[in-house]
Amino acid sequence: MTENETDYPEIREEVAKLCARFPGAYWRELDKIRAYPTEFVTALTEAGYLSVLIPEEYGGSGLPISAAAAILETIQATGCNGGACHAQMYIMGTILRHGSPEMKAEYLPQIATGALRLQAFGVTEPGSGTDTTALRTTARRDGDDFVINGQKIWTSRAEHSDLMLLLARTTPRNETARKTEGLSTILVDMREAIGHGLTIKPIRTMMNHNTCEVFFDDLRVPVKNLVGEEGRGFRYILDGMNAERLLIAAECIGDGTWFTEKSVHYAKERQVFGRPIGQNQGVAFPIARSYAQLQAARLMVREGCRRYESGQNAGEQANIAKMLAAEASWACAEACVQTHGGFGFAEDFDVERKFRETRLYQVAPISTNLILSYISEHVLGLPRSY
């Protein structure tokens, strides 16, 4: 449709071929019963797409973030859903940046092959979503173990992950100078933990996202599973956020592309009053407007990736990219439903499914308001609002 796909054309072509094996009917069946797309994730893993950000010395392909963005964008643009496994690409970044040489050697090669799935990220709690440092899950030292107690919520893919990167408080809040201190990142091996202090309970949501509540009841985890230094976990989580935001923004660009292509196709085909509905500006303009939004967001994703890859601070660009891309994909989704009239609500058209799926990205992994707060405070220097 457009000349957008200029970077990584071979990767995009191969990913699109793989995705063609998983058409709308595949996703519709899973959506009905809220099941995990195991075959799809296995295919991506075996093709090596989920390990592109892992350096070659650990068995990945050591590609830059724009390659990962191209993969996720393509997955979404073909109508598939990378939300089932996108975190396998980036959660490992915390181990890569902050883990000890022994930890990296032990885990990264296995994550690269997919033998170990590290795609559960335990940060949000029932009482602390946006306000992360208010979290209450504790990890208390007892000999060579941490003893973990508390609860996480919205831990996506927990039932389909071997490991979880957990953020827990290791020093009580009243013993730290700042609320951002005393939090630690710990790698939890969920295979050993289930039934021994770890319980996972799926949450049914408006889309098929395999997200869960996770309960910790005196769960023992070896101290050697601490990632980096004790007490610096919040900083480590922040370090990974730009990558996550850029990659999810790329997924939104893919979603927006899918919606726009669907809208254009239908608006040309559907005849009402003896002419294609797309001939009416009332139908064409919302598609054109949301496409314009999408293209602007696409440029910001590219700029964010460029800065990230050149080692510059990409905070502003990653946040803006995530916000604009999530809003653009939603505008494209809205135009697509409206263009399809009644058929926008029919399951067989996939529009309603994608509409539900793309809505998430204005709330998670960070909500639009919090991005606006970031821009206000950290970019524009306005007073902090909370």
Residue ranges in contact with ligand FAD by CB under 6 A: 121, 123-124, 129-130, 154-156, 205, 209, 211, 360, 363-367, 369-370, 373, 385-386
Report how far residue 253's alpha carbon sits from residue 2's, in angstroms, rounded to the nearest whole number. Answer: 13
We find the least distance from the C-beta atom of residue 24 to ligand FAD, in angstroms, to be 21
Shortest distance, position 181 Cβ to ligand FAD, whole Å: 20
The token duo for 311 is 């080692």
In the block, residue with structure tokens 């899918």: 258
Count of CB atoms situated within 10 Å of the CB of 309: 13
Q: Which of 73, 125, 244, 357 is catalytic?
A: 244
Please say which residue, 124 or 184, places its beta carbon nearer to ligand FAD. 124
Angle, in degrees to the nearest 10, between helices 233-269 and 351-359? 150
Nearer to ligand FAD, 40 or 90 (CB): 90
- Choice between 147 and 370, CB closer to ligand FAD: 370
Dihedral in degrees, nearest 10, Cα atoms 215, 218, 222, 224: 70
Q: What is the DSSP string of 240-277?
A: HHHHHHHHHHHHHHHHHHHHHHHHHHHHHH-EETTEEG
Length of the chain: 386
Is 244 among the residues known to form the active site? yes
Based on CB atoms, which residue is closest to ligand FAD, 212 or 283? Answer: 212
Q: Which position's Cβ is nearest ligand FAD?
A: 129
For strands 163-169 and 145-156, give the pairing: unpaired
Do 99 and 107 contact (CB within 8 A), yes or no?
A: yes
Using CA atoms, how far apart are residues 43 and 47, in angstroms rounded to an integer? 6
- Using DSSP's 3-state secondary structure scheme, residue 101 falls into helix
Helix (H) or strand (E) holding 193: helix 190-193
Whichever of 36 and 343 has its CB closer to ligand FAD, that residue is: 36
User: Phi, psi (5° rounding) for residue 146?
Assistant: -100, 145
H helix intervals, 275-377: 281-309, 315-340, 351-359, 368-374
Least separation in angstroms between CB 227 and ligand FAD: 16
* Least distance between ligand FAD and beta carbon 272 (Å): 37
Helix (H, G, I), strand (E, B) or coil at 149: strand
Question: If we measure between CA atoms, which residue out of 105, 82, 86 comes closest to residue 95?
Answer: 105
Helix orientation angle between 315-340 and 351-359, rounded to the nearest 10 degrees:
150
d(CA 305, CA 8): 14
Question: Could you tell me which residues come within 8 angstroms of residue 59 by beta carbon, excluding any fewer than 6 positions away?
Answer: 51, 108, 109, 112, 113
Minimum distance from CB of 205 to ligand FAD (Å)? 5
Shortest distance (Å) from residue 327 CB to ligand FAD: 14
Name the 3-class secondary structure at 302. Answer: helix
Active-site residue list: 244
